[in-house]
Structure 1
Amino acid sequence: MINPYGQHGFRARFDWGPIGADAVGPGAAVVAVVDVLSFTTALTVAADLGIEVWPYRWRDASAAGYAERHGATLAVGRSEVTGPDQVSLSPATIRCATDVRRLVLPSPNGSTISHRLAATGATVIGVSLRNATAAAEWTGRRLAGDPAAVVAVVAAGERWPDGSLRPAVEDLWGAGAFLAGLVARGFGPLSPEAEGAVAAYRTVADRLPSLLVECAGGRELYDYGYPEDVAVAAEVDGSRRVPVMDGPRFVPTD
């Protein structure tokens, strides 16, 4: 019996979180991970600077040892920053980083999904609102010679206190922006789920910067004192770089 949740028969598929990734990722040539606030936005900022990023699943004491083994700088939690030169999970601090060529970025959502998908053999890319068009162009070029190739898009979402998935509307918009870029290049057909993401994006496309501030994820960062991270995430198509996972790390790609 064919898995009804795999969206088979469609070249572009969309779902949420690690379990959704397991459903739509197998068999995909390219999988786009979308975590706008803030994992994949941080990836694109790092890519703009030529920084390689090692995503790490856990934000605990083991991350320091992982960074040391890879000769990388460890991004600490936003609240752990003690000086102006320290890099955190905040995209704004990555933008200000100096002499950082390798960065370990702990992210329970985005990192976990990226590693999970890479293990299937798919090419994993990081997509945010900053690089959605560039990522669609890159994907279209890569798959131009294979009319049967499948693209899966996974919105990371967030977590409620009980650990359950909280769908995050900013990730839906980022996924829709990327999928809309594929549609503009003649890629399809899209699954109903993917079409829904495109429709959600098109509804708000001309209001994204302001809506990103007003959505729950944006309000959360504002309340915690990180409005600059929302501003960076709202730089729609501000990046031409595509972070592509190569082994355990993301490398910048044009």
Structure 2
Amino acid sequence: MTLPGHDQSSYRLRLEWGPTGAEAVPADYAVVVDVLSFTTTLNVAVERGIEVFPFRWRDSRAAEHAVRHGATLAVGRFEALSRGDARHVSLSPASLSEVEGVQRLVLPSPNGSSIAFALAASGAQVVGACLRNAGAVARWLAPKVSDGASVVVVPAGERWYDDTLRPAVEDLWGAGAVLAALDAEAEAGASPEARMAMAAWEAALLPLDLLQCASGRELAEAGFVADVEIAAQHDASEVVPVLVGESFRDATELDPPTPRLRRI
């Protein structure tokens, strides 16, 4: 539901947090950012030529979805750790950077996947972005913005134990990296929310800040420091994952349909 005063419709570059924010701020193109989880793992997987099927739930439905698409099912990082099986494909960029023989992957993520599906249902073209491909995403979007399209960047954030949104600074940095590069490439007005993210990105010190922020410390202390280091590789990738149908694939290998410009 779009709320009066919250849709940022007077700006072509927009930003709002999480699934509720994504619904409140529609746009022609929607960029999901989940730096220390979904979108960095997505970027690494698509970079390796894997077709990624995002999925909202981490239960038996995910396994059924994987069977339906002839895909491998990724498990959560901590689930893979508890199994003690290093061969298990998980929601971990480091695990995906070494995997062999996987062509299709179901990637369950209650944050990033849920947001991607909600945005796709709104009619937006959905893109997955992180620090690794921020510049590539901006370059892909720039001609579309120059032609009049609107873009909302959606930092996914994390969830507190009571399931409320925890704005995560790493997702703000990722959103800011995309917006700053896009603002430099295309002549378009940015909302105050978008400019705030750009300012946060300019103030970030990588990789140190990513390792020392709350989410980074949590992963490092659990043994996933390699995931944080991969996520901190700014502009290391030229891959632009776009959601076409039920799966993400690289935009350079596709000619995704251009959404009807709704001037919203």
Are residues 1:14 and 2:12 paired?
no
Q: Secondary structure at the match of 1:208?
A: coil
| Contact preservation (8 Å) 2:131, 2:231 | yes
* CA distance in 2: counterparts of 1:242 and 1:186, whole angstroms: 18
Aligned in 2, Cα 1:215/1:2: closer, same or farther, shift over 3 Å?
closer
| Contact preservation (8 Å) 2:66, 2:72 | yes
Q: Secondary structure at the match of 1:5?
A: coil
| Contact preservation (8 Å) 2:12, 2:145 | no
2:180 maps to: 180
Are residues 1:222 and 2:224 paired?
no
2:110 maps to: 108
* CA distance in 2: counterparts of 1:151 and 1:42, whole angstroms: 22
* CA distance in 2: counterparts of 1:80 and 1:182, whole angstroms: 37
2:95 maps to: 93
* CA distance in 2: counterparts of 1:2 and 1:83, whole angstroms: 47
Are residues 1:31 and 2:33 paired?
no
Q: Secondary structure at the match of 1:104?
A: strand
* CA distance in 2: counterparts of 1:100 and 1:143, whole angstroms: 35
1:236 maps to: 234
Q: Which amino acid aligns with 2:198?
A: V
Question: Residues 1-254 of structure 1 correspond to what in structure 2 (within 5 A)?
Answer: 3-25=4-26, 28-81=27-80, 82-144=84-146, 146-147=147-148, 149-204=149-204, 207-254=205-252
Q: Which amino acid aligns with 1:244?
A: V
RMSD value over aligned CA atoms? Answer: 1.3
| Contact preservation (8 Å) 1:85, 1:96 | no
| Contact preservation (8 Å) 1:51, 1:252 | no
Give the TM-score normalised by structure 2: 0.91
> Matched residues, percent identical?
54
In the TM superposition, residue 2 of structure 1 has moved relative to its aligned partner by 6.9
Q: Which amino acid aligns with 2:43?
A: T
In the TM superposition, residue 187 of structure 1 has moved relative to its aligned partner by 3.3
Aligned in 2, Cα 1:85/1:179: closer, same or farther, shift over 3 Å?
same
| Contact preservation (8 Å) 2:3, 2:24 | no
| Contact preservation (8 Å) 1:129, 1:177 | yes
| Contact preservation (8 Å) 2:132, 2:232 | yes
* CA distance in 2: counterparts of 1:196 and 1:241, whole angstroms: 26
Give the TM-score normalised by structure 1: 0.94
* CA distance in 2: counterparts of 1:217 and 1:2, whole angstroms: 31
In the TM superposition, residue 253 of structure 1 has moved relative to its aligned partner by 2.2
Q: Which amino acid aligns with 2:228?
A: V
In the TM superposition, residue 242 of structure 1 has moved relative to its aligned partner by 0.4
Aligned residues: 248
* Greater Cα shift, 71-80 or 239-248: 71-80
